Amino acid sequence: MSFHYTIDTTKTIDKAVEDLSASLQEESFGVLWDFDLTSKLQEKGMEFNTPFRVLEVCNPKEADRVLKENKTVGYFLPCKIVVYEDNGLTKIGMPKPTTLLDLTEDDRLKGIGLDIEDRLISCIENSK
């Protein structure tokens, strides 16, 4: 079992991020931050040239729901979805919320995590 969910697309990074953001909005997830990791590393003198963006996404209702159950879940928030180039394809992926929530060993979070994961996977799939 993999800790992540990742798909390939032939879309450009910018188009994939645009379509993903729209799909997330339909599920009431907002993009809090669109971090251009490539630019930041280059700004710091690194020679990293692979287009790589990290989106921090949040659904306030879901964040409230999980934090009320277990405040340590805040260590995983907001959810991250990455969009990057690899071997001529654009990849869109995320760490699975269920895998992260399993680390809390709190069974009350399993159903919530699965629901959030399913919704985020749907958003990623809709962005292909």
pLDDT digit string (tens) for 42-71? Answer: 999 999 999 999 999 999 999 999 999 999
Instruction: Count Cα atoms within 13 angstroms, Cβ side, for 33.
Output: 9
Domains in the chain, start-ordered, CATH in brackets?
4-123 (3.30.310.70)
Confidence band, pLDDT 50/70/90 cuts, at residue 8: very high
- Residue type for position 21: S
Rounded distance between C-alpha atoms, residue 90 and residue 77, angstroms: 24
d(CA 79, CA 124): 13
Q: What is the pTM of this model?
A: 0.94
Whether the bond between 95 and the residue before it is cis, its omega within 30 degrees of 0, is no
Q: For residue 3, what pLDDT band results from cuts at 50, 70 and 90?
A: very high
